Amino acid sequence: MNTSHDDNLFKTDDLELEKIIAEINNEKLTAAEQQIIDEDILESLEDLQPKNKKDKARMELHDWVQCVVGAIVIGIVIFVFFGRSIGVDGISMMSTLRHNDRIIMSNLFYTPQNGDVLVFQTGCDEFGGNPLVKRVIAMEGQTVDINFDCGHVYVDGILLCEPYLDEPTFVRNNFEGPVIVEEGHIFVMGDNRNHSSDSRDSRIGQIDTRKILGRVLIIAIPGPDAFGNRDWNRFGWIDDGIPCPYGYKCICNIDCGCMA
């Protein structure tokens, strides 16, 4: 068998094939040939698409499920680490907060300060064990006194001018002052001062800071009025007062100033 002759034939065929391929590569395609190639490409792309409407609907449903699950996960993260939404029940914080307002509170890295509006757990059966929302009037070590004849509140002998009040503080409950706020506690009152159960009431008293659930940050959804209308101008951050030169938040009226 002439193996050498056969090898030469194969080599010749390979050279001819390579020559033909090179000529095809160098040859410019006609418009008809280009159209055929384009149609082949389009058919290949169509093969990658869903083969029927059911497949397409299934893919869309999958995308929606992913979006919903993602939103739920983000909501849980926000709830656990940043804040939570609760509803206001009652009128003790009017006009700052109103009945059925939806508020956002947070206890992330939170330390209570004078003037903060916060939510705390009472553990008092008379209130059904429900959380209450009030304003911080004094911190531990500070002295609180109230002149019920003129409705003035004093902290460390300094008059608190409170523009968030609709009326002065005339209701005593069973408060007997002056009182010094105990260590690890705060003294709180509602902004609707004469219709609020708060630290003036011995059933609640001074609040252990360990029972604080969080500071109220935002009115997210204003509650409806008697006619079912919502005042969206009330949407936004809760005002906790203006800086006071005495070192704590002194809520001062227009021209009254901070008086000893």
- Judged on CB neighbours under 10 Å (0-12, 13-18, 19+), 151 is middle
Q: Rounded CA gap, 173 and 202, in Å?
A: 8
11 flagged as catalytic = no
Closest among 82, 112, 87 to 99, alpha carbons compared: 87
54 flagged as catalytic = no
The residue annotated as part of the active site, out of 28, 44, 54, 92, is 92
Q: Are 197 and 173 in contact (CB under 8 A)?
A: yes
Q: Rounded CA gap, 80 and 119, in Å?
A: 16
Q: Encoding tokens for residue 218?
A: 């935002």
Instruction: For residue 179, give the DSSP letter.
Output: E
Q: Rounded CA gap, 170 and 66, in Å?
A: 57
Report cis status (omega within 30 of 0) of the bond before 245: no
- Judged on CB neighbours under 10 Å (0-12, 13-18, 19+), 61 is exposed
The residue annotated as part of the active site, out of 134, 196, 199, 249, is 134
User: What element of type H or E holds 16?
Assistant: helix 3-26
Closest among 149, 144, 143, 137 to 190, alpha carbons compared: 137
Give the residue numbers annotated as catalytic, written as ranges. Answer: 92, 134
